[in-house]
Amino acid sequence: MKKSIAFMFILLSFCVKAQMSLKVQRAEVTGKILDISNGEPLVSATITSPTSNGGGYSDTEGNFTASFLLGSHDIQIKLMGYDTKIISNVNLAEGEVVDLGIIKIGVQAQDAVKGGVTIRVKKATNSENALIVAQKKSVNLMDGVSAQAFKKAGDGDAASAASRVTGVSVDGGKYLFIRGLGDRYTKTVLNGMEIPGLDPDRNTVQMDIFPTNLIDNIVILKSFTPNLAGDFTGGWVDIQTKDFQSKEAMSISLSLGFNPAMNLNSNYLSHESTNADLLAFGKSSRNLPFSEPKVIPKSEYTQSGGGAQRAESNANAFSKNMDVMTQSSMLNTSFSLDYGNQYNKKNKTYGFNVATGYSNTFNYYENVIFQTYLRKEDKSVNELTLAEKNNGSVGENEVLWSTLANGSIKAGKHGFSTSIFHTRNGVKKSSKLFYENVANPFGDAGAKLDRTILYYNQRTLTNLFFKHEFKKDSAWKFITKLSPSISTNYEPDMKITALSVGEDGYKFNVGAGSEIKRLYRNLSEKNINSKFDAERKIFLGNSKVSKLKFGIAHNYKHRDFGVLQYVFQPIGSFNLNGDPNQIFNEYLYNAESDRGYAVFGEPIKSNEFVSSMNVMGAYAMNELPIGARTTAIYGFRVEKSDMFYTGENTNNEAYLNYKVLDEMNILPSASFVYRATSDVNVRIAASQTIARPSFKEKSLAQIYDPISGRTFIGNLDLEQTEITNLDLRFEKFMKRGELISVSGFYKHFNNPIEIVVYKPETPTNFTPRNAVSADIYGAELEIRKSLSFLSDKLSLASNFSYILSQVEITPNERIGKMIELREGQTLDDKREMQGQAPYIINVGMNYDNRESGFIANFSYNVQGPKLSIVGIGRLPDVYTESFHSLNLKSSYSLGKGKRSQVSFAVTNILNDIPVQVYRGFNAEDQIFSQRQLQRTFKVGYSLKIK
């Protein structure tokens, strides 16, 4: 009989006095834990007591030995996916070993265990160990990160939490790349249901809007099974919100963050705002000054019948503050509150949970750099030449708050749960940049501009979730889910002032790029996802069960996007002093003098679109045990998708609710899990999946992005991508949550979509196109290991991914590259895929001293340099360089019952700088963009009130 000696869970009531006494009187409890349904031993169940520290684990044979303080205890047995079993009033006397005998647990445990038993239902998926168990039992290739892990690592939002998972990298702090595959191939769902994204440019969900205090765990499935929607390839990311508590629990936490370069900095840039900004309601003070999008022609002031007066009032309708304000930034603050409880009445169990969180973060980047480098027109020169540069400072204030409330009722065979989730995010950005056109033939060479940009972004997501579970009998189970959501993304009143700077002061010189602009962008998306799943267990005898699953699903998505732009231009000429406010305070158009800056603008049709999509799915699959050790999972899914587009381009081509996509796909999947031993799984999986173009891609839209200066051109001829996936995985589970897994995968893409330059002559116009094909080969290694040879309190969790990608370049790209090849340079037919990191490394080192209450975690994350922008013509390729992220999080629990916890964290210990570079043939790398992140320190306090 093996003994487990590590203590994973610290539970309540550990008094300081007891800790200080040198010898503590303890006794042991032993037993064996079996699955109630098939009698198989269960590994990694935790055995704890709320009235004592210590505890134990079941080993691979289900046996356990747990150590507790002397006295009477309610022993709890927990395992993810199973009901928690509590054995009450177990008396431990000195020198005694209490044998609890065989304890059977199951999802539907009905029988009682000796000693007076209460059965409580709780899926403890938020522990790292429970997730590993889930991973072991999963029929998919599964990885995950639990609340426990992200608390340890100090992750503030879902994006950084998910970056702990094997093969996961985060792009721009928002989007998950799984196995280096971009957001196009990743599907993010909330509690298994589809939700709208918040980015006009992407098809997926921004992960940074989910604060970790609302998340129970994040599960990432890397292989497709027919019960999942078929449009993912890299990974299916399921953010599971907090479930209700098994007993009353309440906690609050507060934290303060300090970055020496960003917080309490008197140079911080902000702009005029109202208190509504503090709650991410900042749009209210930045609304369009007209009740509806208004057409204002430039010539308005010449119109008879009061045109001049109208021009004056239109110009004056806009708010007048265009400049940044220098003010001191505050400390980063965050606050969260959770409360949950469960009641049992008659035959019903009621549970609920309410959680809310708020955070306010300041970022200040001094000496931000954006540059353009070009290849020389002389093809014998390899070195890149500076064409234009921007540098300056950017102040950024981000407010994020979210609330989750859920409740559930369990009554006999029925379980009903519902939740409402609302998240709201406001980002206020104030930039002061100096632009210089050093020698750029694309613009006005020699031009210098002083550019002030004030920006606000308000995003919201509201999601309702209903689930009904009906377990008819031991064979049949039915689950129905319905999840409607609404999301909005507003960018109200982006204010841009660009004034030419010359030897003789400031000028409004249109040729040099001077402009004054007010821009409004709105995106809203509605989504209704519904699912019905049925599961039939077929008992094959010999305690083998075959599961037959089938179901239907429907998803409807509707997206509405629009841009409105108003431009101010001078009538007459004015002496400018460089202050962006001067024009609005002194020189707005005046009807009497018939001089001043007049406003004009109108909605531009090619910038707007309305799209919707219906996807209907149906599936059937079977989990079939073959022999003693193998399970086959096979089946297929049918998906019918229709996409509709309303919009027009600049050539008078217009469509009204035009069907742009009409596909019917049969997606087969087969996988085998071979349980070589009770601790070793070998998995092999093959499947067919798809990736659909986004609304914006499958459109005629021509959308100019004032932030990047690029124009996006939709492509109605775009086809969906079909992907063949092959996966092989070997996993070995060991005691105490230890794990080693090795995976290999191959993916073949037919018609992959790539965002490429429209044509070499227009290097700032981008469009999605189908490449012929692409292939990806990858290998992954994950190790979770206790470093008991050093200390039983040290453990290591690390993973490594290596990915080789190849995509055939399009003829267009070939032409664009060939004309500017350097002497001696050759062009391959294939290149790496855009945005695909060649390797990803995550290493985490944990120190966990439960007895003293001290926990520390060092985590390191890096990904290899990846191709971000495919160069064409004289524009070289842009690569995102590796960012070495090393972070420390530590906490110390103290006080009665260790209810209080103080924490200390340092992020970006290495003070690394995120940088993107131009990379030419045999040329020195040159900076494309760079900003200083600096190290951030954070202290926090949390209290478990109940």
The verdict on 303 binding another protein (CB under 8 A) reads: yes
CB 771 within 8 A of CB 810: yes
Which of 183-191, 254-262, 594-602, 739-747 is the region at the interface with another protein (rule: CB under 8 A)?
A: 594-602
Binding pattern for the stretch 178-217 against another protein, x by CB under 8 A and - elsewhere: ----------------------------------------
Quick check: 445 binds another protein (CB under 8 A)?
Answer: yes
Of the residues 101, 173, 297, 306, which one makes contact with another protein according to CB under 8 A: 297
Segment 856 to 915, residues that bind another protein, using CB under 8 A: 873-874
| Nearest Cα to Cα of residue 599 among 323, 304, 298 | 298
Cα–Cα distance for residue pair 667/680, rounded to 1 Å: 29
Pairing label, strands 630-648, 866-869: unpaired
β-strand 773-786 against 762-770: which pairing, if any? unpaired
Alpha helices in 2-146 (DSSP H): 16-20, 128-137
665 touches 678 (CB < 8 A):
no
Mapped to the 3 state alphabet, what secondary structure does 358-415 carry?
EEEEEEEEEEEEEEEEEECCCCCCCCEEEEEEEEEEEEEEEEEEEEEEEEEEEECCEE
Task: Give the contact letters, 597-636, x = binds to another protein (CB under 8 A), - = no.
Answer: ---xxx-xxxx----x-x-x--------------------
Site for another protein in 487-516 (CB under 8 A): 504, 507-513, 515
413 and 472 in contact (C-beta within 8 Å)?
yes
Here the tokens at position 503 are 């030897």
Q: How far is the CB of 296 from another protein (least distance, A)?
A: 9
Tell me the window of 99-107, 234-242, 571-579, 723-731 that interacts with another protein (CB under 8 A): 571-579
Tokens linked to 514: 């001077």
Question: Which is nearer to another protein, 470 or 892 (by Cβ)?
Answer: 470
CB neighbours (10 Å) of residue 875?
Answer: 23
Task: Closer to another protein by CB, 563 or 797: give it.
Answer: 563
The site map against another protein for 752-791 (x = CB under 8 A) is ------xxxxx--x-x------------------------
SS3 813: helix
Residue numbers 20-79 binding another protein by CB under 8 A: none
Span interacting with another protein, options 261-269, 525-533, 745-753, 893-901, rule CB under 8 A: 525-533
Q: Which stretch binds another protein (CB under 8 A): 70-78, 650-658, 785-793, 842-850?
A: 650-658
d(CA 886, CA 670): 40
CA proximity to 844, closest of 154, 137, 15, 67:
154
| C-alpha atoms less than 13 angstroms from C-alpha of 931 in its C-beta half-sphere | 18
Residue 879 CA to residue 839 CA, distance in Å, equals 14
Indicate the residue among 651 and 826 with the shorter CB distance to another protein: 651
Smallest gap from Cβ 298 to another protein, in A, equals 5
Residue number, 322 or 872, with CB nearest to another protein: 872
**Contacting range for another protein; rule: CB under 8 A; set: 56-64, 202-210, 334-342, 814-822:** 814-822
Q: Which of residues 644, 695, 839, 879 is near another protein by CB under 8 A?
A: 644
CB of 206 to another protein, least distance (A): 24
348 binds another protein (CB under 8 A): no
Contacts with another protein: how many residues (CB under 8 A)? 91
Q: b or e along 322-336 (b: 16 or more beta carbons within 10 Å of the residue's beta carbon)?
A: bbbeeeebebbebbb
Q: Segment near another protein (CB under 8 A), from 223-231, 280-288, 645-653, 689-697? A: 645-653
Cβ neighbours for 441, distance < 8 A, ≥ 6 positions apart: 387
Q: Which stretch binds another protein (CB under 8 A): 72-80, 450-458, 565-573, 937-945?
A: 565-573
Residue 292 or 504: the one with the smaller Cβ distance to another protein is: 504
Please tell me whether residue 821 binds another protein under the rule CB under 8 A.
no
The stretch near another protein (CB under 8 A) out of 27-35, 440-448, 485-493, 577-585 is 440-448
Q: Is 484 in the site for another protein (CB under 8 A)?
A: yes
By the rule CB under 8 A, 827 interacts with another protein: no
Residues 367-426 touching another protein, rule: CB under 8 A, are 374, 377-379, 414, 416
For residues 117 and 90, is the Cβ–Cβ distance under 8 A?
no
Rounded-to-integer distance, Cα 588 and Cα 289, Å:
16
